[in-house]
Amino acid sequence: MPAELIDGVAIAARVRQRVAHDTAALKALGVTPGLTAVLVGNDPASAVYVGSKERACKEAGMHGESIRLPASTPEVELLALIDRLNADPAVHGILVQMPLPKHIDSPSVIRRIAPAKDVDGFHPFNVGKLFTGDRDGFAPCTPAGVQVMLEEAGVDTSGKEAVILGRSNIVGKPMAALLIQSGKTADCTVTICHSRTKDLASHTRRADILIAAIGRPEMVTAEMVKPGAVVIDVGINRVDDPSAPKGYRIVGDVKFDEVSRVASKISPVPGGVGRMTIAMLLANTVRAARLSIGG
Ligand code: GUN
């Protein structure tokens, strides 16, 4: 039987509806949630992400602003901009798009963002809260979105083997931190695999929940997946396709056609996790705005 689809578009739309509702409630109290995204340089993919964040904010009734800086911007200038945004009461969430140009030290930039405005959840203060199970902080948007997808798809995670492919600070590590906590849509036994993992398939075949965030097009094949597993594909990869109108198409890290015949539930690419990231960013920003007035 083919796997049931976990529809990220529909789940993200529900999250965004809640965000719009909460935004309206805050506006009635005189507070318009505001997110400022900072983009340094002109990486085309990053520019697309930042543009869609701005549009999504406006659709939800929030204030969305993008600040675009040249690739040559000195680190001190970026840090001074963050200081200004930290001090601006109309800005509730600050996002500095990654990756940054090589001459800028990303950890220093992340540490400069006020933890209360760090809606990306990248600041060590929020990372610490995430690992210690303190729900007051902000969780990074992509793994938080995956957790919401598992919840909305009715996946029972308690005591299950979750295997995560990829150890990035943006997805793999925080995903593990979310799934090892005690509580709802968590309580997993977690394995993180990465580029140095030996015999990858021996790990992936144990997974009740397999989360692929490795950035390698269609790397996960059917024989790597346990029958009945839940598979979440975080990958967004461009592959050449002369038959496609743009000359390329977007694929995930999972070979969807064959894995969907083995899995019980699977998220597609596109139409899966991608939409959730922005929805969770909006949700974090509304929460930051509410917390700023003591709520
Ligand atoms: N680059 C890729 N994903 C992200 C993200 O979630 N936040 C930021 N700031 N940069 C990214």
**Which pLDDT score, from 0 to 100, does residue 295 have?**
80
Residue of 120, 278, 282 with the most ligand 1 atoms within 8 Å of its CB, for mutation = 120
> Does 1 have pLDDT greater than 80?
no
Residue minimizing CA distance to atom 1 of ligand 1? 98
Residue 256's nearest CA partner among 283, 225, 290 is 225
CB 251 within 8 A of CB 105: no
- Give the 3-state secondary structure of the chain: CCCEECCHHHHHHHHHHHHHHHHHHHHHCCCCCEEEEEEECCCHHHHHHHHHHHHHHHHCCCEEEEEEECCCCCHHHHHHHHHHHHHCCCCCEEEECCCCCCCCCHHHHHHHCCHHHCCCCCCHHHHHHHHHCCCCCCCCHHHHHHHHHHHHCCCCCCCCEEEEECCCCCCHHHHHHHHHCCCCCCCCEEEEECCCCCCHHHHHCCCCEEEECCCCCCCECHHHCCCCCEEEECCCEEEECCCCCCCEEEECCECHHHHCCCCCEECCCCCCHHHHHHHHHHHHHHHHHHHHCCC
Q: Write the CB contacts of 148 (distance below 8 Å, at least 6 apart in sequence).
A: 11, 15, 276, 280
Residue minimizing CA distance to atom 8 of ligand 1? 97
Q: Where are the domains of the chain?
A: 30-114, 141-275
Same fold, 30-114 and 141-275: yes
Q: Which CATH architecture has domain 141-275?
A: 3-Layer(aba) Sandwich (3.40)
Q: Which atom of ligand 1 is nearest to the CA of 95?
A: 9
Residue minimizing CA distance to atom 9 of ligand 1? 97
Q: How far is the CA of 170 from the centre of ligand 1 (A)?
A: 7
Tell me which fold the domain 30-114 belongs to: Rossmann fold (3.40.50)
**Which pLDDT score, from 0 to 100, does residue 192 have?**
98
> Does 219 have pLDDT greater than 90?
yes
Q: How far is the CA of 236 from the centre of ligand 1 (A)?
A: 13
Catalytic site positions: 53, 97, 120
What's the pTM value of the predicted model, to 2 decimals? Answer: 0.97
Q: How far is the CA of 95 from the centre of ligand 1 (A)?
A: 8
The per-residue pLDDT for range 17-61, each reduced to its tens digit, is: 999 999 999 999 999 999 999 999 999 889 988 999 999 999 999
Sheet holding 63-69, edge to edge: 63-69, 34-40, 93-96
Binding-site residues, ligand 1, Cβ < 6 A: 95-98, 120, 141-142, 170, 277
The per-residue pLDDT for range 135-191, each reduced to its tens digit, is: 999 999 999 999 999 999 999 999 999 999 999 999 999 999 999 999 999 999 999
Q: How far is the CA of 93 from the centre of ligand 1 (A)?
A: 14
The per-residue pLDDT for range 78-133, each reduced to its tens digit, is: 999 999 999 999 999 999 999 999 999 999 999 999 999 999 999 999 999 999 99
Block residue for tokens 């390329």: 248
The one-letter amino acid at 206:
R
Residue of 43, 123, 170, 281 with the most ligand 1 atoms within 8 Å of its CB, for mutation = 170
